[in-house]
Amino acid sequence: MKEKMAKVLVEMGRDYGLDLKIYEGYSGRGMYGSETWGISGEDCSAASLLKLVLEAGLAGDLESYFDVGYGDTNDAWNVGYFREDVLGLGRIVY
């Protein structure tokens, strides 16, 4: 996921009561050494992040988290493409 998306989702998670952290430079299964941004934590899963995005959208809060409007999605939401790995006691979504 892109840096901006990870930072926005962590901020949204805090506002919605989730304990999430930024994970920079993650290289997951099948990435062959390329790195990306991720979100980790005990409360973290692809499903919890998708639920977070949906709740914020239903509440009308999504636009307030980005400096772009709903029509500009080039750098914003690829929620259908989250990948998830287990990291010991927590998970990472990337």
- Predicted confidence at residue 80, as pLDDT, reads 55
Q: How many CA atoms lie within 13 A of 81 on its CB side?
A: 6
Number of H helices, E strands in the chain: 3, 4
Judge contact between 17 and 64, C-beta under 8 A.
no
DSSP conformation class of 67: S
What is the residue range of 66's domain?
A: 3-93
Task: With a cut of 60, say whether residue 73 has pLDDT above it.
Answer: no
In order of 3, 27, 59, the CA distances from 37 in angstroms are 6, 9, 26
Each residue of 16-63: pLDDT tens digit? 888 899 999 999 888 898 998 999 988 788 888 888 878 877 777 766
Number of structural domains in the chain: 1
